[in-house]
Amino acid sequence: MDEVKKKIYVVDDDERIRLIVMRYLEAEGYAVTGYGDGESALQAFAQAPPDMFILDIMMPGIDGLEVCRKLRATSQIPIIMVSAKDDEIDRIVGLELGSDDYLSKPFSPRELLARVKTVFRRFHIGLQQQSLASAPAAQPEHLAMRDLKLFPEERRAQCQAVDLPLTTKEYDLLYFFARHLNKAFTREQLLTQVWGYDYIGDERAIDDLVKRLRKKLKAASSDCEIKTVWGYGYKVES
């Protein structure tokens, strides 16, 4: 099995939790190294990058969010973030920074293992899709959606000629809707489109994203509305 040789860095200042996670993953055949702080983990990454990071958010010094930010500046390595508090803001920020999954403590080692295997599987599927993909087709100069204009080459959106202050994921979601007007999508489908491959975890991530995007559209006095399709998901009408 390919996963037997996978190297994982577990970064958590709580030694008890760190050791429990390490032992469980080692018993499953992974090569695991533990670190009690973010700085040590980043130094180790520079010398010998692992195949995955499991990052605690709340750590002294460089916290998990900052470690994630630094990793994403140069690498697409799989990252699972964990936190002792079920904080919506931490979860949103972690996902926005590019983490692949998020777990709230306490969690069972079995649940963590399932997430690890799934994230690895998604990551390799994504790599295969990238390698097999043909050259991208020429994109239109802009897409129009109600009173919005989206500029794919610049990854920029305007409402009535004024730029919207969108995050990466907010733009990705808006762009996807612009390309598929009048069609309803489930949360799972939208997560797949926004994160680039099958996403496992809390589907509230897409609800959070829609909520923030709606606020920004309302603040810009846009007539573009992301509609809830009850019991199903979301859509934008032309």
Torsion of CA 3, 39, 47, 91, to 10 degrees: 30
Residues 142-164: what's their mean pLDDT?
Answer: 90
**pLDDT reported for residue 50:** 96
Q: Does 134 score more than 50 pLDDT?
A: no
**Confidence label for 3 from pLDDT (cuts 50, 70 and 90):** very low
Distance CA 49, CA 169 (A): 26
Q: Does 232 score more than 80 pLDDT?
A: yes
Domains of the chain plus CATH, in order, are: 2-132 (3.40.50.2300), 143-236 (1.10.10.10)
**Under 8 Å CB-to-CB from 1, ≥6 apart: which residues?**
29
Average pLDDT, the chain: 84
